[in-house]
Amino acid sequence: MKLERINTPKELLERYKAYSCMLGLRVDGGAKNTAFEREILVCGGTGCVSSDSSIIVDNLNEELAKHGLSGKIQVIKTGCFGFCEKGPIVLVQPDNVFYTMVKPSDAAEIVESHIVNGKRVERLLYEEPSMKQKIEKSKDMPFYKKQMRIALRNCGIINPENIMEYIAADGYQALSKCLTEMDGDAVINHMKQSGLRGRGGGGFPTGVKWEAAKKFRSPEKFIICNADEGDPGAFMDRSILEGDPCSVLESMTIAGYAVGADIGYIYIRAEYPLAIHRLQVAIAQSREIGMLGKNILGSGFNFDIELKFGAGAFVCGEETALIRSIEGKRGEPTTKPPFPAESGVWEKPTCVNNVETYANIPPIILKGAQWYSSIGTEKSKGTKVFALAGKINNVGLVEVPMGTTLREIIYDIGGGIRGGKEFKSVQTGGPSGGCITKENLDTPITYENLTAIGSMMGSGGMIVMDETDCMVNVAKFYLEFTLDESCGKCTPCRVGNKRLHEMLTSITEGKAEPNTMEKLEALANTIKKTSLCGLGQTSPNPVLSTMRFFRDEYLDHINNHKCTAGVCKNLMSYHIIEDKCVGCTACARNCPVGCITGKVKQPHTIDQEKCIKCGACYQKCKFSAIEIR
């Protein structure tokens, strides 16, 4: 695609007017003055691509060509729609017909039935479980009704590999406004008035961070985007970069203008190949039209962006470890102060924000600080993106106003617990967060509220658990993650967490001493107080929160050698119920160690000393004759 350079704000506005019709069919109620009669939007996020959405695009184009409709119907590969549970997703506009779980083989029917004959493909429409009815339009789906998309505003709407579509969606207008109507101090004050806080975990006020970086004098400053998203179950930043990469580039350029920096780095983990590809395309196109590089929009301001790849170290999500990695050093945190705003990359003033934080900035500049600060709560402004995963019906990416309750997210948006099971807990903040129980489901989500109940906002991972989850084992899982990801620089994190893990292992294996709980709590608090960086300081949170809310479960493991959830193998035993066993021999035939004996058509028995607790007999029995004790 050949692109022409945009030299002035006036030219940018003219380009916007010329291309705004590109999105005419995609926004409900929008103008219809496009070159196409219809557009078919196909989710091109990683989840749907892995389920063959790229093949769906190819098949749709082939079918349209067969019917002579290639010049009338356009197929667009977009970013993530958010409703990952029902992907791949295909949206036909301007009809606003939302097809779910589409397969490549469905392309022919979509074109033949919907496009050619005007008849919806009923079997591909979303069916709301509680209502037992098909829902045609996404706006009518409970999953979307309570959402408010600001950071995700363009995901699922624009083609992320066509910068003209970003410009058609008000792209780079915020940068133009900053360069022509505001100086650096005005931009910073605007961000402070908006109340935007960092979305990477700590919740530090964005405007205050920018102000700190601006006040330090230096001939060279740096802007960094932290895209090193590594929490288990988290995919918020990845989806933004895949669906709307230019919004991050524009925001970093605005930050550079505000603090006086001319170089930006996006630190992204190499495990995100699709996000990397789309960033590379976006950077190349932005340079080509003059939105990156020298003399942007004729303002005399210079700014460019480079990608830096991480090797998957979770600790490099901590800003000082990330900075060391950019410098080519081992990714280890450093003591603070000095903070990066004073001494960051190569000891120069550096401003670090994460992907979601940057994604909020253009709308704040264009719509105003008061508009943004009117959303959310007094201390937690705006919206927050969450990756909803685990034992939930509607797995996906959601964006809600701050102050929305956990109950609304889990039940109204998430559709409740999968399989009709009982809700037990939700883990927020990943391995740095904590477990929240049903007693706190009506807690409005804010930075302060989550901290008060022993968890944290974190980057936005939200993993839901049900009655079949063992909370001791959950704490052990998160601690295992921390052990693998710790850089090992400081003793409390390197050694302390190893001892914590050993104690949790002894509990799950039925070998714990009566005073293990006291030792766990004392060591966890010591690690929190003495670790060098945020990874170590928050690593005991899952242990402390599960001990706080599920103490009886810990005591059951220690005192009674019993795992109520039936997860900890060493505390489980399989027994055959004599009255129900018909002697079919299925259990004996599938036992890998031959610990089950008995004659045909007679009750069988399990040798407990030989049993390895694999559960094969329990799974194969068709008569519910085996129980777990």
Give the DSSP per-residue string, 392-433: BSS-EEEEEETT-BHHIIIIIIS-SBGGGPPEEEEEESGGGS
Pick from 232, 201, 215, 189: nearest CA to 353 = 201
Confidence of residue 130 (pLDDT cuts 50, 70, 90): confident
Alpha-helix residue ranges (DSSP H) falling in 456-540: 471-485, 491, 497-508, 516-530, 534-538
Pick from 478, 501, 471, 477: nearest CA to 565 = 471
Given a cut of 60, whether residue 293 has pLDDT beyond it is: yes
Position 416 scores a pLDDT of: 93
Confidence of residue 33 (pLDDT cuts 50, 70, 90): low
Pick from 115, 93, 99: nearest CA to 27 = 93
By three-state DSSP, how is residue 579 classified?
A: coil
Position 322 scores a pLDDT of: 94
Q: What is the pLDDT averaged over residues 7-18? A: 92
Q: What is the pLDDT averaged over residues 71-88? A: 94
Query: Mind listing the domains of the chain with CATH numbers?
Result: 36-137 (3.40.30.10), 163-372 (3.40.50.11540), 383-466 (3.10.20.600), 471-560 (1.20.1440.230), 573-628 (3.30.70.20)
* CA diameter of the chain: 89
Q: Which H or E element spans position 164?
A: helix 163-168
Given a cut of 70, whether residue 353 has pLDDT beyond it is: yes
Position 529 scores a pLDDT of: 93
Number of C-beta neighbours around residue 302 at 10 A: 13
Position 91 scores a pLDDT of: 95
Q: Which H or E element spans position 127?
A: strand 126-128
DSSP structural state of residue 607: -
Higher per-residue pLDDT: 20 or 596: 596
Given a cut of 90, whether residue 37 has pLDDT beyond it is: no
Which of 13-17, 75-79, 257-261, 369-373 has the least mean pLDDT? 13-17
Is-contact 246 373, C-beta < 8 A?
no
Is-contact 379 447, C-beta < 8 A?
yes
Alpha-helix residue ranges (DSSP H) falling in 550-584: 551-560
Give the DSSP per-residue string, 201-254: SS--BHHHHHHHHHHS--S--EEEEEE---STT--HHHHHHHH-HHHHHHHHHH
Question: Cα(533)–Cα(411) distance, rounded to whole angstroms?
Answer: 35
Is-contact 266 496, C-beta < 8 A?
no
Position 232 scores a pLDDT of: 81
Alpha-helix residue ranges (DSSP H) falling in 313-360: 319-326, 355-359
Please enumerate in sequence order all residues whose Cβ is within 8 A of that of 199, keeping only pairs 6 or more positions apart, or say none: 151, 354, 355, 356, 357, 360, 384, 385, 459, 460
Given a cut of 90, whether residue 453 has pLDDT beyond it is: no
Prediction pTM value: 0.91
- The per-residue pLDDT for range 545-559, each reduced to its tens digit, is 999 999 999 999 999
Confidence of residue 317 (pLDDT cuts 50, 70, 90): confident
Please enumerate in sequence order all residues whose Cβ is within 8 A of that of 105, keeping only pairs 6 or more positions apart, or say none: 59
Q: Which H or E element spans position 279?
A: helix 273-289
Given a cut of 80, whether residue 31 has pLDDT beyond it is: no
Number of C-beta neighbours around residue 444 at 10 A: 17
- The per-residue pLDDT for range 266-289, each reduced to its tens digit, is 999 998 999 999 999 999 999 999
Tokens 């705004």 belong to 20
Pick from 181, 297, 189, 282: nearest CA to 227 = 282
Confidence of residue 356 (pLDDT cuts 50, 70, 90): very high
Is-contact 34 24, C-beta < 8 A?
yes
Is-contact 464 391, C-beta < 8 A?
yes
Question: Cα(448)–Cα(258) distance, rounded to whole angstroms?
Answer: 29
- The per-residue pLDDT for range 152-199, each reduced to its tens digit, is 999 999 999 999 999 999 999 999 999 999 999 999 999 999 999 999
Q: Which H or E element spans position 284?
A: helix 273-289
- The per-residue pLDDT for range 192-225, each reduced to its tens digit, is 999 999 998 778 999 999 999 999 999 999 999 9
Position 287 scores a pLDDT of: 97
Confidence of residue 1 (pLDDT cuts 50, 70, 90): low
Question: Cα(87)–Cα(41) distance, rounded to whole angstroms?
Answer: 13
